[in-house]
Amino acid sequence: MVRTWGIWISAILFFFYMTVWTNQTEMALASASVPTGWTLFAILTGLALFNIRKKFPAFPLVNSSSWYVFHVAGGFLAIGIFWLHIGSFWPVGLYERCLAILFYLCTFSGILGLIIQKLFPLRLTQSGAEYIYERIPSEISEIQKNAQDLLLACTRETSRDTLATHYLETLHWFFQRPRFFFSHLFGGEKSAHWIQQRCSNLERFLNAQERGYLRKLFALADVKRKIDLHYALQTVLKSWLIVHLPLAAALMALIVWHIMVVHVYFL
C-alpha cells in the first residue's frame, strides 16, 4: 500500500513540476515542446515495458503489482504530459490529429481495461460458480445432453411430450450455445427473466409429475445462465488486450516517426 501511494504521489508531483516548468518556459518566450515530447516518449516507453515484464514473471527486478501500479499511474501521467506537449486538448494539423486520435484510442482502451479488470473478477466471484474459459463449450454440451436425457425420461414416464415439445420450440435455442452476451456484460437480468417466463408459461399445462421434471430443467437452465455470464465476462477479460496492444504498438511506431520528422526538418 505504501509503495502504491508512493508511485501515485510521485506521478502527481512530477506532473505539477512539469506544468510549472512549462508555464515558466513559455512565459520566457521559449519552447517547451521538445522537453515535454521527450518526457512523454520516456513515459510511454516505460508503459510499453510493462507488457514485456508480464512475459517474464520470474524476472527479479520489480514485482508485478508495482509494475501494474506504475502502468496505471504512468498512463494517467502520460495524458497530462500529452496535453502539456500539444498545448491543448486537440492539436492543429492533420498529422498531429491522427497522432492524437491514436493516443486517445489507446488511452481509452487502457482505461476501459482497468475498469474491466476491477469489476469483472468481482462479478465472476459473486456468481457463486467457477468455470474455466476453455472448457465452457464442453460444459454447455454436457448441460444440453443432461437436458435432453431429462426430457426423454419425462416422456417415457408420463407418456406425454408437452415438455419435450416446449423445449424444442423455445429452450433448445437457449441451451445450444452462450446467449444474452451483452445483457450479461452490462449486468442485466434479461437471461433470468427469459428463462422464468418460458417455464412459467408452460407450468399450467403440465401435471404434477411433469412439473417435477420442469423444475429440474429450470435448474439446468440456471446453471447454463451462470456459464453464459462467465463466457461473456471472461471473453472481454481475455480479448480487450487484443485491442489495446496493437493500438499501443501503432502509437509507439507513429511517435518514433514523429520524433524523426521533427528532428530532421524542424530542429
pLDDT in tens, the chain (267 residues): 657 788 899 999 999 999 999 999 888 878 888 899 999 999 999 888 876 666 555 555 556 677 788 889 999 999 999 999 988 888 888 888 999 999 999 999 999 999 999 999 999 999 888 999 999 999 999 999 999 999 999 999 988 888 999 899 889 999 999 999 999 999 999 999 999 998 888 888 888 898 999 999 999 999 999 999 999 999 999 888 899 989 999 999 999 998 888 877 765
Q: Which pLDDT belongs to residue 30?
A: 81
Q: Measured between alpha carbons, how far is 264 from 257 in angstroms, rounded to an integer?
A: 11
pTM to 2 decimal places: 0.82
Give the other-Cβ count within 10 Å of 211's Cβ: 16
178, 227 contact by CB (below 8 A) = yes
Q: Measured between alpha carbons, how far is 217 from 233 in angstroms, rounded to an integer?
A: 25
Q: Which pLDDT belongs to residue 66?
A: 76
Give the other-Cβ count within 10 Å of 187's Cβ: 10
**CA 68 to centroid of chain Cα atoms:** 16
229, 181 contact by CB (below 8 A) = no
Q: Measured between alpha carbons, how far is 253 from 244 in angstroms, rounded to an integer?
A: 14
Q: Which pLDDT belongs to residue 132?
A: 93
